Amino acid sequence: MEGKEEDVRVGANKFPERQPIGTSAQSDKDYKEPPPAPLFEPGELASWSFWRAGIAEFIATFLFLYITVLTVMGVKRSPNMCASVGIQGIAWAFGGMIFALVYCTAGISGGHINPAVTFGLFLARKLSLTRAVYYIVMQCLGAICGAGVVKGFQPKQYQALGGGANTIAHGYTKGSGLGAEIIGTFVLVYTVFSATDAKRNARDSHVPILAPLPIGFAVFLVHLATIPITGTGINPARSLGAAIIFNKDNAWDDHWVFWVGPFIGAALAALYHVIVIRAIPFKSRS
């Protein structure tokens, strides 16, 4: 019971105990909006669930990069597209892996696996600054290790085939790449907000197990749309991991697009969800 209370307090447990039968009728709403997370919460540093959550983000991002970059390498190495899983297969690798990993880590860390998602949720006051920074650092480290393992398998081919790094394709401007990253990340983070919304969870009879599916689909769909433009970042850790391990000029030249774009997209999604869809500030006022 102590452990559970601790988890509930630090917010690691996203699904608090349901109200006992009969008492829910006393409130006019069948859901409870969690209070805004404090900016700094020193107490959570002393809790194992905090450190465990960061480790979970590290492992998840590591596996994500390993599977996805290895899939990209397989397609690139193939003699022709027809002999490989193709671009659609790459999109499935990204989306499917996010689905599986969010499912596994949703109850541990919230299943972000993406600094842009962490940033968006931070702006919506869902987690503290300390936790947000910790998650982002662990995600970036996990991404570097994941891409590193792929390079370890075949160092020469990895370098010759582009290392799965994100760059803006020939024929597109930096503005187009930035725009694609902004809108792509908006789709993803907005889906995350919808999937984790307290109001929707109540009306969906508290079946949180289903939340990862639309999130995975969102990643898959954005990859289908923007792989021709940027190889699809929408995840700064993914872009950073590949850029560091590949370490060529062309990867670094455009790298800023893959941080600025996702963070702007996440901010827009947070604004849209909190201000327009949920109108939370106006409710607080009244």
Partner 1 sequence: MAKDVEGPDGFQTRDYEDPPPTPFFDAEELTKWSLYRAVIAEFVATLLFLYVTVLTVIGYKIQSDTKAGGVDCGGVGILGIAWAFGGMIFILVYCTAGISGGHINPAVTFGLFLARKVSLIRAVLYMVAQCLGAICGVGFVKAFQSSHYVNYGGGANFLADGYNTGTGLAAEIIGTFVLVYTVFSATDPKRNARDSHVPVLAPLPIGFAVFMVHLATIPITGTGINPARSFGAAVIFNKSKPWDDHWIFWVGPFIGATIAAFYHQFVLRASGSKSLGSFRSAANV
Report the interface residues with partner 1, using CB under 8 A. Answer: 80-82, 86-88, 91, 171-172, 176, 179-180, 183, 186-187, 190-191, 194-195, 199-200, 203-205, 207, 210, 213-214, 217-218, 220-222, 224-229, 272, 276-277, 279
Q: Which is nearer to partner 1, 1 or 207 (CB)?
A: 207
Q: Which is nearer to partner 1, 1 or 276 (CB)?
A: 276
Quote the least distance from Cβ 180 to partner 1, whole Å: 6
Q: Which is nearer to partner 1, 14 or 131 (CB)?
A: 14
CA 161 to chain centre: 26
Quote the least distance from Cβ 163 to partner 1, whole Å: 20
Quote the least distance from Cβ 149 to partner 1, whole Å: 27
Q: Which amino acid is at 212?
A: P
Q: Which is nearer to partner 1, 109 or 230 (CB)?
A: 230
Residue 164 has phi, psi (to 5 degrees) of 65, 15
- Can you tell me the distance from the alpha carbon of 260 to that of 134, in angstroms, rounded to the nearest whole number? 19
- Can you tell me the distance from the alpha carbon of 256 to that of 266, in angstroms, rounded to the nearest whole number? 16
| Helix/strand/coil for 223 | helix
Taking the alpha carbons of 165, 169, 175, 180 in that order, is the dihedral positive or negative? Answer: negative
Tokens (6 digits) for 48: 């194992």
Q: Which is nearer to partner 1, 153 or 256 (CB)?
A: 256
Quote the least distance from Cβ 82 to partner 1, whole Å: 4
Tokens (6 digits) for 273: 């969800």
Tokens (6 digits) for 227: 């792989």
Q: Which is nearer to partner 1, 160 or 210 (CB)?
A: 210
Q: Which amino acid is at 22?
A: G
Quote the least distance from Cβ 227 to partner 1, whole Å: 7
Quote the least distance from Cβ 55 to partner 1, whole Å: 29
- Can you tell me the distance from the alpha carbon of 116 to that of 9, in angstroms, rounded to the nearest whole number? 24
- Can you tell me the distance from the alpha carbon of 133 to that of 139, in angstroms, rounded to the nearest whole number? 10
